[in-house]
Structure 1
Amino acid sequence: MTIDTTLFRDAMARLGAAVNIITTRAPEGDMGFTASAVCSVTDTPATLLVCMNKNSRLSGAFQQGGPLCVNVLNADGEPLSRWFSGQQGLSMAERFAQAGWVRLETGAPVLESATAAFDGVISSVVEIGTHRVLFCDVRAVKLCPQATGLVYHQRRYHRLETALQDAG
């Protein structure tokens, strides 16, 4: 049985998800895109996955063995999400100029204001339908001690204002 594509997309819109900027350091420079399809796979070893449209012009920049950073956006991250989704027509350099960035272990751009950042290396890539699933071995993590969140639900952004308390 084949599921209607519109019905499937409408149902998936009801699955709220954190908003992330996925970055890499490629030969042509820093690259990044907005994604909500990010998931933990296991904590031993620390691994996560990112889904990326294989027809994206950035698809070639995200290769097995290359660096990848998942930057989880805070509540104020909606403009960054829109810039990195290409909605504003900014060049890649202009997108990165909108925020502060640092580097951790892999050299991928890490957003200074990220609620959390997972810096790693793409360990494998699986193609399924219209997308590539990038599996990432996490090598370093950066946490913001006081953080809010940004989720995408019902095709709209929603701010999570409740600050996380430092467990330490």
Structure 2
Amino acid sequence: MIMSPDPTDQRAYRSALGRYASGLTVITCRTGDRLDGMTCQSFTSVSLEPPLVSVCLRTGTATLAAIEEAGSFCVNVLAGDQQPLADRFGRPRPDRWLGLTWTPSTAGHPELPGCLLWLDCTLSGRTAAGDHTLVVGRVERIRLGDPAAGPLLYYGGDYRGLGDPSAEVRLAG
């Protein structure tokens, strides 16, 4: 028999939701000379008219504060070979930008190299949601990366590739 986890048990809840595969993004923002960014797996399309996306960021993060200050941000959708970028932006580290080459988007936010897709967004709305803030962005510009590249996926607490079930699982750092 399959047990039903208690949703109030954070560890069980997190493990249960780990059964849902998601792509990975790095949300970036530049305010003046300051660069902010964080790995985010909670990203989705919201609307075609107008073109809206959402990201869910932990309340109190520097990246969320930067987005609120700037009123805009960039979504960098990671390709299958970009686990190092997911790791780099997955935890707070003061040197995450050190030695990293990036290109300014039209709005001036960092576009990280080698991504599948870049979206320049203006802040359209935000809503408190528990310990996170749901951020809605209006897509102002789309730039596509290599169409032959596959996505970096996250499933069961590990990085995965698309369509290759025999691939070795790489543990997330």
Instruction: Work out whether the TM-score is over 0.5.
Output: yes
CA contact 1:151–1:158 (8 Å) conserved in 2: yes
Deviating above 6 A after TM superposition, structure 1's stretches of 4 or more consecutive aligned residues are none
Distance 1:3 1:13 in 2: 13
Structure 1 spans left out of the alignment, 5+ residues: 163-168
SS at match of 1:9: helix
In structure 1, the partner of 2:58 is 53
Q: Name the TM-score, length of structure 2 as normaliser.
A: 0.82
In structure 1, the partner of 2:149 is 147
Name the structure where strand makes up a greater proportion of residues.
Answer: 1
In structure 2, the partner of 1:124 is 125
In structure 1, the partner of 2:89 is 84
CA contact 2:29–2:70 (8 Å) conserved in 1: no
- Alpha-carbon distance change, 120 to 57 in structure 1, aligned in 2, over 3 angstroms: closer
The reply to whether residue 18 of structure 1 matches residue 47 of structure 2 is no
Query: What value does the CA root-mean-square deviation take over the aligned residues?
Result: 2.0
The reply to whether residue 93 of structure 1 matches residue 97 of structure 2 is yes
Structure 2 spans left out of the alignment, 5+ residues: 1-5, 165-173
- Alpha-carbon distance change, 146 to 117 in structure 1, aligned in 2, over 3 angstroms: same
State the identity %. Answer: 25
Count of matched residue pairs = 157
Distance 2:123 2:29 in 1: 10
CA contact 2:31–2:69 (8 Å) conserved in 1: no
Q: CA deviation at 1:65?
A: 5.7
SS at match of 2:68: coil
- Encode CA deviations 1:87-141: one digit per residue, 9 max, x unaligned: 7x452432xx33x322333221112311011111111111111001110000111
Larger Rg: 2
- Alpha-carbon distance change, 60 to 28 in structure 1, aligned in 2, over 3 angstroms: farther
Q: Name the TM-score, length of structure 1 as normaliser.
A: 0.84
Distance 1:11 1:137 in 2: 31
Distance 1:155 1:17 in 2: 11
